[in-house]
Amino acid sequence: MRRFVSACAIVAVGLALACSQDASVHAQNGQWGTVKGRIIWGGKDIPKPQKLNLAGKNDEKFCGDVYSEEWVVNAKNKGLKWTFVWLINNDPKDKTPLPIHPKLKEVTPKEVIIDQPVCTFIPHAVAVREGQVVIAKNSAKVQHNFKWTGNPFNENAGNNILIPPGGALALKPNLVADRLPVKVECGIHPWMNGWIRVFNHPYYAVTDESGGFEFKDAPAGQYRLVVWHGSGGWRGGAKGKDGMPITIKAGGVTDVGDLDYPPPAAN
């Protein structure tokens, strides 16, 4: 009889703990929300696609028609593609790591691929999380070299490696989170360029064809949203490195709407 009572007590305690854990998870999920918006071209005229002149360049015939990726703007809605957007603490000087939702703790996928199939980097702009391995791939029929240059004082300093047709390599050492971007180039085809940014949290995005971005399960509360583009730098100039304040709603969607990105003034 005592054994039966003890067994029942154990089961009861187990059920209570399970319910408590479920309640805890539910309560914690209530402290998270989704952030979304759109980065739009803030200049007077929308840039038109610019075909590059490759006459006399290496692999001219193979490369074919290549267009500039300096500014890629959607003519229908002014959306600015290839723009980095991410969260930082409300106090820009606060280097405390951002809270991370339990289901986003694990860094996935393990690898991020940058390919060079037809004389451009695909994708042109890549956001990765610290712990991911960047794979430089060459699926073209011509050779490329993959040069990456970042902060000279850490693992992002860079290297320059030749990749034969059909080859691939992992960037070593692994890139680390840093406020400075990593520039990507190909010395054989000097018009080729791209960007990598590395973060120590999952709350970042690169804008799509419509200029849109979104990150889910972001911590609710007061934070800042930072916007950076490889051709123009911080949105808002030097002051833009501290971003703009936003309040992330718990359990809902915080839509910051359309944020204009004025191009830098011409010299």
pLDDT band at residue 30 using 50, 70 and 90 as cut-offs: low
**8-state DSSP, 106:** S
Answer whether residue 184 shows pLDDT above 80: yes
Q: Is 101 left (phi over 0), alpha (psi -120 to 50) or beta?
A: beta
Say what the pLDDT of residue 12 is: 45
According to CATH, the topology of domain 103-192 is Immunoglobulin-like (2.60.40)
- DSSP structure class, residue 103: G
Q: What secondary structure does DSSP assign to 196-208, as a single string?
A: EEEESSS-EEE--
Phi, psi of 187 (to 5 degrees): -70, -25
Model confidence at 264, pLDDT cuts 50, 70, 90, reads confident
* Section 206-229 average pLDDT: 98
Rounded to an integer, the average pLDDT of 10-37 is 55
Q: What average pLDDT does range 145-168 have in this prediction?
A: 97
Please tell me if the domain spanning 33-101+202-267 has the same topology as the one spanning 103-192. yes
Q: Which of 134, 148, 244 is nearest to 187 (CA)?
A: 148
Residue ranges covered by each domain of the chain: 1-30, 33-101+202-267, 103-192
To which residue do tokens 């998870």 refer? 25
pLDDT tops 60 at residue 165: yes
Mean pLDDT of 22-28: 36
Instruction: Using the predicted structure, report yes or no on whether residue 118 has a pLDDT greater than 70.
Output: yes
| Non-local CB neighbours of 34 within 8 Å, separated by 6+ positions | 214, 215, 216, 217, 218, 252, 253, 254
The helix or strand, by DSSP H or E, that contains position 27, with its residue range, turns out to be helix 2-29
Would you call 2 helix, strand, or coil by DSSP?
helix
Helix, strand, coil shares of the chain, percent, nearest 5, are: 15, 40, 45
Pair of tokens at residue 215: 């990150």
- Report the pLDDT value the prediction gives residue 241, as an integer from 0 to 100: 95
Residue 4 predicted with pLDDT over 50? no
For the chain, give the percent of residues with pLDDT over 70. Answer: 88
Residue 154, pLDDT above cutoff 50? yes
182-194: average pLDDT: 97
Per-residue pLDDT, 125: 98
Is the pLDDT at 174 greater than 80? The verdict is yes
Residue 28 has pLDDT above 60, yes or no: no
Q: How far apart are CA 52 and CA 66, in angstroms?
A: 6
Average pLDDT in the 147-158 region?
Answer: 98
Please state the pTM of the whole predicted model.
0.88
Residue-level pLDDT at 109? 97
* Torsional class of 51: left (φ above 0), alpha (ψ -120 to 50), beta (otherwise): beta
The string of pLDDT tens digits covering residues 32-86 is 999 999 999 999 999 999 999 999 999 999 999 999 999 999 999 999 999 999 9
pLDDT at 266: 56
Residues 220-236 pLDDT 10s: 999 999 999 999 999 99
CATH of domain 33-101+202-267: 2.60.40.10
Average pLDDT score over residue span 132-136: 98
